[in-house]
Each structure stands twice: as structure tokens, then as C-alpha cells.
Amino acid sequence: MDVVDETFLAVPPPVVKAAFANPGSWRRLWPDLTLEVYADRGNEGLRWTVRGALTGTMEVWLEPMLDGTLLHYFLRADLPGRPGPRDIRREITRRQFAAKNIAFDLKTTLEDGRRPGCPP
């Protein structure tokens, strides 16, 4: 399955990167996944291998844009066993909502009420 999301955050990439840099936060963000960094791209983001409820790869790519960051999220993974089409669709939908919730939580926390175009 592939899950892709993009969200604009009105904060610079290093601020967004810090939210993902601590391995302790990964368990809170993705409680059913075990992550291992295979590429730390600095302020451009992280790439992980994924194990647990899914097996595959995941990435957050932080693209500088305007006065903030476009947060790109990619999850490419398989469900264990032999899931049917309905199970796969349900898991994709669940992961899409989870990705957007993570992005909106970061937006609320990191922007702290800042509006686009206003100084950070």
C-alpha cells in the first residue's frame, strides 16, 4: 500500500525536523510501528524502514516553501499475511487519517497561532 500526504507548515524546515528527530516521539506518532532510520537527510527529513503492523519504508521530506515548509509524508508498506482488498483499503484510509492528524497536530503546536506571511 502507498500513503502520501502533503501539508504546509508556516515554520522553517529545521523546526519541523526537530519534531521528528527524537526517536522517543516515533512511538507516540506511530505506536504500532518499529522504525529504523536508514537516511537522515538533515533539514530535508528522514527515511525509515518500518516493521511491526506493517513492513516497508516511510519518509518525511521537508521542502522549504515560501515562508515555511511543505511536509511530504510517504508510506510504502505491506500488511502481514494475506489481507483482502477490503482490509487493504481500510488500512490505507486509517493511515491517511493518521498522517493528516500528525500534520495538523504539528501545525497547531509548531505554528503556535502564527499566520502565513507573518514573521516567525
At 114 the pLDDT is 76
- Structural domain count of the chain: 1
Amino acid at the residue 44: E
Domain annotation covers residue 37: yes
Whether residue 118 is contained in a domain is answered as no
Domain interval for residue 104: 2-111
- Can you state the percent helix, strand and coil of the chain, rounding each to 5? 40, 40, 25
- Please state the φ and ψ torsions of residue 19, each to the nearest 5 degrees: -70, -25
Rounded to whole angstroms, how far apart are CA atoms 107 and 84?
35
User: What is the spatial distance between Cα 18 and Cα 74, in angstroms, rounded to a whole number?
Assistant: 18
Q: Distance between CA atoms of 34 and 32, rounded to whole angstroms?
A: 7
Q: What is the tens place of the pLDDT at every residue in 95-110?
A: 999 999 999 999 999 9
State the cell numbers at 59: 519518509
Low-confidence ranges of the chain (pLDDT < 70): 115-117, 119-120
* CATH code for the domain in which residue 54 is found: 3.30.530.20
